[in-house]
Amino acid sequence: VPIVVAFVDSMTPTGKGNYTINLKDPTATIGASLHYKTKEHPQYGHHIVVGCVLVLKQIVVFAPARSRGPYFLNITQNNVQRVSIHTESIT
């Protein structure tokens, strides 16, 4: 997929440094695997948290065992184009 823009709805560590995350956009929710090197990236890794928006490029959609779903994304450092966070607090 050339471009994906989605909100990080949830993040769960896998125990090996990687994360399983759920991404949402106005049309759907999809699961993703976030590689540990992406989360540890010095420029943007600490900004990848629940509530941020990820702009991803050239993302691979994976379907286990050639099934019809569930599909999920495999996110690596090469896929991250931008991480946006909302910095204002809501009172």
How far is Cα 46 from Cα 51, in angstroms, rounded to an integer? 13
Residue 70 lies in a domain: yes
Q: Is 55 helix (H, G, I), strand (E, B) or coil?
A: strand
Kindly state the average pLDDT of the residues 1-22: 93
Please, what is the end-to-end C-alpha distance for the chain in angstroms? Answer: 38
83 close to 54: Cβ distance less than 8 angstroms: yes
Domain membership of residue 58 as a residue range: 3-85
**Is residue 48 a part of any domain in this protein?**
yes
Question: Which pLDDT does position 21 carry in this prediction?
Answer: 96
* Block residue for tokens 């560590």: 13
> Reduced to 3 states, what is the DSSP secondary structure of residue 25?
coil
**Predicted local confidence at residue 55, as pLDDT:** 96
Q: Is 9 inside a domain boundary?
A: yes
The pLDDT tens digits for 23-69 are: 999 999 999 999 999 999 999 999 999 999 999 999 988 877 766 66
Q: Is position 91 within any domain? A: no
